[in-house]
Protein backbone atom coordinates (compact mmCIF):
# COMPACT_ATOMS: atom_id res chain seq x y z
CA UNK A 1 0.00 0.00 0.00
CA UNK A 2 1.35 3.39 -0.97
CA UNK A 3 1.69 5.64 2.06
CA UNK A 4 0.80 9.31 1.82
CA UNK A 5 1.68 12.01 4.31
CA UNK A 6 -1.48 12.72 6.28
CA UNK A 7 -0.16 14.96 9.06
CA UNK A 8 2.89 17.20 8.99
CA UNK A 9 3.99 19.59 11.73
CA UNK A 10 6.72 22.01 10.71
CA UNK A 11 8.41 24.13 13.36
CA UNK A 12 5.29 24.22 15.53
CA UNK A 13 5.39 26.39 18.63
CA UNK A 14 2.82 26.67 21.39
CA UNK A 15 3.06 28.99 24.37
CA UNK A 16 0.79 29.81 27.28
CA UNK A 17 0.78 32.98 29.35
CA UNK A 18 2.87 36.03 28.61
CA UNK A 19 5.83 38.02 29.86
CA UNK A 20 7.55 36.48 32.85
CA UNK A 21 4.83 33.83 33.12
CA UNK A 22 5.28 32.62 29.52
CA UNK A 23 5.41 28.83 29.38
CA UNK A 24 6.71 27.35 26.14
CA UNK A 25 5.34 23.83 25.57
CA UNK A 26 6.23 23.21 21.93
CA UNK A 27 9.42 24.79 20.62
CA UNK A 28 9.77 24.26 16.89
CA UNK A 29 8.29 20.74 16.85
CA UNK A 30 8.52 18.75 13.61
CA UNK A 31 6.56 15.54 12.99
CA UNK A 32 5.28 13.52 10.04
CA UNK A 33 2.61 10.83 10.09
CA UNK A 34 1.74 8.68 7.08
CA UNK A 35 -1.37 6.76 6.07
CA UNK A 36 -1.59 3.27 7.53
CA UNK A 37 0.87 4.16 10.30
CA UNK A 38 0.28 3.89 14.04
CA UNK A 39 2.63 5.98 16.16
CA UNK A 40 2.82 5.99 19.95
CA UNK A 41 3.35 9.31 21.70
CA UNK A 42 4.98 8.45 25.02
CA UNK A 43 6.06 11.26 27.33
CA UNK A 44 5.76 12.23 31.01
CA UNK A 45 2.76 14.26 32.11
CA UNK A 46 3.16 17.97 31.58
CA UNK A 47 5.52 17.73 28.62
CA UNK A 48 2.92 18.61 25.99
CA UNK A 49 1.27 15.41 24.73
CA UNK A 50 -2.25 16.81 24.88
CA UNK A 51 -1.09 20.16 23.50
CA UNK A 52 0.49 18.42 20.53
CA UNK A 53 -2.73 16.48 19.87
CA UNK A 54 -4.85 19.62 20.17
CA UNK A 55 -2.67 21.54 17.73
CA UNK A 56 -2.50 18.60 15.30
CA UNK A 57 -6.29 18.20 15.55
CA UNK A 58 -6.92 21.90 14.84
CA UNK A 59 -8.44 22.41 18.28
CA UNK A 60 -5.77 24.99 19.06
CA UNK A 61 -3.81 27.39 16.85
CA UNK A 62 -0.03 27.13 17.05
CA UNK A 63 1.91 30.26 17.96
CA UNK A 64 4.37 29.53 15.20
CA UNK A 65 5.06 26.98 12.49
CA UNK A 66 2.63 25.13 10.27
CA UNK A 67 0.15 22.26 10.53
CA UNK A 68 -0.54 20.50 7.24
CA UNK A 69 -3.22 17.84 6.80
CA UNK A 70 -3.34 15.89 3.55
CA UNK A 71 -1.24 18.58 1.90
CA UNK A 72 -3.43 21.45 3.05
CA UNK A 73 -1.82 24.14 5.21
CA UNK A 74 -4.37 24.81 7.94
CA UNK A 75 -3.18 27.73 10.02
CA UNK A 76 -4.20 30.50 7.66
CA UNK A 77 -7.67 29.10 7.18
CA UNK A 78 -10.78 30.73 8.67
CA UNK A 79 -12.42 28.91 11.55
CA UNK A 80 -15.24 27.47 9.43
CA UNK A 81 -12.74 25.83 7.07
CA UNK A 82 -10.78 24.42 10.01
CA UNK A 83 -14.01 23.06 11.46
CA UNK A 84 -14.83 21.36 8.16
CA UNK A 85 -11.40 19.71 8.01
CA UNK A 86 -11.69 18.66 11.64
CA UNK A 87 -15.13 17.14 11.05
CA UNK A 88 -14.29 15.35 7.81
CA UNK A 89 -10.62 14.42 8.16
CA UNK A 90 -9.95 13.91 11.87
CA UNK A 91 -11.29 11.49 14.46
CA UNK A 92 -10.69 11.92 18.20
CA UNK A 93 -10.63 9.35 20.99
CA UNK A 94 -10.10 10.36 24.60
CA UNK A 95 -9.34 8.51 27.83
CA UNK A 96 -12.95 8.98 28.90
CA UNK A 97 -15.38 8.03 26.17
CA UNK A 98 -17.61 11.16 26.30
CA UNK A 99 -20.54 9.23 24.87
CA UNK A 100 -23.95 10.89 25.04
CA UNK A 101 -25.67 9.03 27.90
CA UNK A 102 -29.24 9.51 26.66
CA UNK A 103 -28.54 7.84 23.31
CA UNK A 104 -27.85 4.20 22.48
CA UNK A 105 -24.48 2.96 21.24
CA UNK A 106 -25.61 2.92 17.62
CA UNK A 107 -27.15 6.40 17.94
CA UNK A 108 -23.88 7.76 19.33
CA UNK A 109 -22.09 6.49 16.23
CA UNK A 110 -24.79 7.79 13.91
CA UNK A 111 -24.62 11.30 15.36
CA UNK A 112 -21.44 12.64 13.68
CA UNK A 113 -22.51 11.14 10.37
CA UNK A 114 -25.88 12.86 10.44
CA UNK A 115 -24.27 16.15 11.47
CA UNK A 116 -22.09 15.78 8.38
CA UNK A 117 -25.23 15.39 6.26
CA UNK A 118 -25.52 11.63 5.80
CA UNK A 119 -29.13 10.37 5.67
CA UNK A 120 -30.29 8.56 8.81
CA UNK A 121 -30.66 5.19 7.07
CA UNK A 122 -27.11 5.24 5.72
CA UNK A 123 -25.72 6.49 9.03
CA UNK A 124 -27.43 3.65 10.87
CA UNK A 125 -26.13 1.08 8.40
CA UNK A 126 -22.54 2.26 8.76
CA UNK A 127 -22.85 2.50 12.53
CA UNK A 128 -24.06 -1.09 12.62
CA UNK A 129 -21.13 -2.21 10.49
CA UNK A 130 -18.68 -0.48 12.80
CA UNK A 131 -20.26 -2.05 15.88
CA UNK A 132 -19.98 -5.46 14.24
CA UNK A 133 -16.35 -4.76 13.36
CA UNK A 134 -15.65 -3.85 16.99
CA UNK A 135 -17.39 -7.10 18.01
CA UNK A 136 -20.20 -5.42 19.93
CA UNK A 137 -22.95 -5.46 17.31
CA UNK A 138 -25.25 -7.11 19.83
CA UNK A 139 -24.91 -4.08 22.14
CA UNK A 140 -26.08 -1.44 19.69
CA UNK A 141 -29.38 -0.74 21.43
CA UNK A 142 -27.79 -0.31 24.85
CA UNK A 143 -27.04 3.07 26.36
CA UNK A 144 -23.52 3.87 27.64
CA UNK A 145 -24.51 3.26 31.26
CA UNK A 146 -25.43 -0.30 30.33
CA UNK A 147 -22.04 -1.02 28.73
CA UNK A 148 -18.74 -2.06 30.29
CA UNK A 149 -15.75 0.30 30.17
CA UNK A 150 -14.19 -1.60 27.29
CA UNK A 151 -17.45 -1.63 25.36
CA UNK A 152 -17.90 2.10 25.88
CA UNK A 153 -14.42 2.79 24.55
CA UNK A 154 -15.00 0.61 21.50
CA UNK A 155 -18.16 2.60 20.79
CA UNK A 156 -16.09 5.80 21.15
CA UNK A 157 -13.55 4.48 18.65
CA UNK A 158 -16.30 3.54 16.22
CA UNK A 159 -17.79 7.01 16.59
CA UNK A 160 -14.38 8.59 15.93
CA UNK A 161 -14.03 6.83 12.59
CA UNK A 162 -17.69 7.02 11.56
CA UNK A 163 -17.02 9.78 9.02
CA UNK A 164 -14.08 7.86 7.52
CA UNK A 165 -11.36 10.31 8.61
CA UNK A 166 -7.81 10.04 7.33
CA UNK A 167 -6.32 10.93 10.72
CA UNK A 168 -7.07 9.46 14.15
CA UNK A 169 -5.80 11.21 17.28
CA UNK A 170 -6.14 9.38 20.59
CA UNK A 171 -5.27 10.67 24.06
CA UNK A 172 -4.76 7.78 26.49
CA UNK A 173 -7.60 5.75 24.92
CA UNK A 174 -6.99 2.79 27.24
CA UNK A 175 -5.86 4.79 30.27
CA UNK A 176 -8.88 3.97 32.45
CA UNK A 177 -9.09 0.28 31.52
CA UNK A 178 -7.55 -2.76 33.17
CA UNK A 179 -4.59 -4.35 31.28
CA UNK A 180 -6.59 -7.18 29.72
CA UNK A 181 -9.39 -4.90 28.53
CA UNK A 182 -6.85 -2.30 27.32
CA UNK A 183 -5.14 -4.93 25.18
CA UNK A 184 -8.47 -6.07 23.73
CA UNK A 185 -9.53 -2.51 22.91
CA UNK A 186 -6.16 -1.80 21.29
CA UNK A 187 -6.51 -4.97 19.19
CA UNK A 188 -9.75 -3.59 17.79
CA UNK A 189 -8.25 -0.16 17.23
CA UNK A 190 -5.19 -1.54 15.49
CA UNK A 191 -7.25 -3.77 13.21
CA UNK A 192 -9.42 -0.81 12.25
CA UNK A 193 -6.39 1.34 11.40
CA UNK A 194 -4.72 -1.41 9.37
CA UNK A 195 -7.85 -2.18 7.40
CA UNK A 196 -8.80 1.41 6.64
CA UNK A 197 -5.31 2.78 6.05
CA UNK A 198 -5.87 5.85 8.19
CA UNK A 199 -3.00 7.44 10.15
CA UNK A 200 -3.08 7.21 13.94
CA UNK A 201 -1.19 9.10 16.65
CA UNK A 202 -1.86 7.62 20.07
CA UNK A 203 -0.70 9.17 23.33
CA UNK A 204 -0.24 6.48 25.95
CA UNK A 205 1.55 5.67 29.19
CA UNK A 206 1.23 1.96 28.41
CA UNK A 207 4.69 0.92 27.21
CA UNK A 208 3.49 -2.57 26.29
CA UNK A 209 0.92 -1.15 23.87
CA UNK A 210 3.42 1.45 22.63
CA UNK A 211 5.79 -1.37 21.74
CA UNK A 212 3.15 -2.85 19.41
CA UNK A 213 2.95 0.32 17.31
CA UNK A 214 5.04 1.13 14.25
CA UNK A 215 7.25 3.58 16.10
CA UNK A 216 7.42 5.60 19.27
CA UNK A 217 8.02 9.31 19.69
CA UNK A 218 8.37 11.51 22.74
CA UNK A 219 8.51 15.22 23.49
CA UNK A 220 11.87 16.49 24.70
CA UNK A 221 12.59 20.17 25.25
CA UNK A 222 9.52 21.07 23.20
CA UNK A 223 10.45 18.97 20.18
CA UNK A 224 9.17 15.63 18.90
CA UNK A 225 11.88 12.97 18.79
CA UNK A 226 11.90 9.26 17.97
CA UNK A 227 13.17 6.79 20.51
pLDDT tens track for 4-21: 999 999 999 999 987 778
Q: What are 32's strand-pairing partners? A: 8
Residue 100 has pLDDT above 90, yes or no: yes
What confidence tens digit (pLDDT) does each residue in 29-48 have? Answer: 999 999 999 999 998 888 89
Q: Which of 26, 1, 6, 4 is nearest to 201 (CA)?
A: 6
The per-residue pLDDT for 94 is 83
The per-residue pLDDT for 174 is 82
Across the range 90-107, mean pLDDT stands at 90
The average confidence (pLDDT) of the chain is: 91
How far is residue 59's CA from residue 23's CA, in Å, rounded to a whole number?
A: 19
Across the range 161-183, mean pLDDT stands at 88
The per-residue pLDDT for 3 is 79
What confidence tens digit (pLDDT) does each residue in 109-141 have? Answer: 999 999 989 999 999 999 999 999 888 999 999
The per-residue pLDDT for 134 is 84
Cα angle 146, 204, 34 (rounded to 5 degrees) comes to 105
Number of domains forming the structure of the chain: 1
Name which of 6-15, 152-161, 176-185 the model is least confident about.
176-185
Reported as a pLDDT band with limits 50, 70 and 90, residue 1 is low
Helix (H, G, I), strand (E, B), or coil: what is residue 57?
coil
The per-residue pLDDT for 19 is 74
Q: Domain of residue 79: give its range.
A: 5-226
CATH assignment at residue 147 = 3.40.50.300
Reported as a pLDDT band with limits 50, 70 and 90, residue 2 is low
8 Å CB contact between 222 and 29: yes
Amino acid sequence: MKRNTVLKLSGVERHYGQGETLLSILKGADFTLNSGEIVALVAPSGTGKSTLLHVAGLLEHPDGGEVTINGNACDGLPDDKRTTIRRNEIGFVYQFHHLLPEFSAIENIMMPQMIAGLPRKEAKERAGQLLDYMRIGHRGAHRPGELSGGEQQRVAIARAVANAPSLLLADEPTGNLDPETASYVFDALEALVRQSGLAALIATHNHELAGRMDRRVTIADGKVVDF
